[in-house]
Amino acid sequence: MIFDELKSGHSFEGREISVFKSDTSGKEYIYLIAGIFGQKVEGIYVISKLFDWLSNTHQMKDIPLIIVPILNIDGYENQTAENSAGIKLIENFNQENLEKKPEIQFLFSLLKKYPAKSMIHFSAKKPPKIQFSEGGKHIASFISKFNFYELFKVDSESLDKKKSLSFPYVLLDQFDTPLIEVQFPKLSEKLGLEEIWKHNEKSFKDLFTTDFLHNYLFPKENSK
C-alpha cells in the first residue's frame, strides 16, 4: 500500500506531528493513532510495526486509511502522559484552551478534512483489554479473537460531565466515530516490545488482508 505524508501538525513545543494518508481516498477513513499518552511506548511500537508492514504489503484490498503514529510527540520525547503544557489530551478532547493543546487542534482539523468511519487507538494498560464505544464492537471482537484481550464497552450514559469531555465520547458525539482502543500489556523485564507485536501481529494483519473491514465498513464500495 502506498502512503502520502500530509502536512504535519505541531506540538506545544513546536515538534512536528507526522500524519500519513493511503493513496486510496474515500468519503470516510479508518484512523490508526498512537501516542496520545506519550509514555505508552507499547502502542507506539505496535503501530510503527503495523505501518511498516502496511507500507510494504500488496496483500490487501484498497482501504482509505489515515495514520498518526505519535500524536503527543512532546510527551513521547519527555516520557510523560501529558503534553508539554501539562494536559492529558485523552481527558481533554475538546476545543477549550486549544492554545495549550495544538495536538488536539490538529487532530480536529484532520477529522474535519478526512472524516473518520472508525478509529483504532493503540495504547497500553494492565491488564490488557480492548475498550470500544458504540459501533465499535465488531472490530474489537475481531481483534480479540486473536489476542484474547477482554472486551469492555464504554457506557456514555454512566459518565459524569468531566469524563464526557474525554476522547471516546467527544469522538462519538461530535464526529459520529466509534473508537476501538487496544490496550496492550505494559512493557516489563519479562515482556518486550517485539513480543507484544508478535502476539498481536496476526490479528492486525488479518484485519487488513481479509474481507472483514471492507465488508463491514465499506459495503457499498465493495458491491460495485
Weakest-pLDDT range from 43-52, 151-160, 215-224:
215-224
Mean pLDDT over 44-62 rounds to 91
Domain containing residue 43? 3-222
Residue 14: give its domain's CATH number.
3.40.630.10
Better pLDDT: 222 or 29: 29
Q: Dmax over Cα atoms in the chain, in whole Å?
A: 50
Count how many domains the chain has: 1
Supply the pLDDT for residue 43: 97
> pTM to 2 decimals?
0.93
Is the pLDDT assigned to residue 37 strictly greater than 80?
Answer: yes
pLDDT of 172-209, one tens digit each? 888 999 999 999 999 998 999 999 999 999 999 999 99
Is the pLDDT assigned to residue 27 strictly greater than 60?
Answer: yes
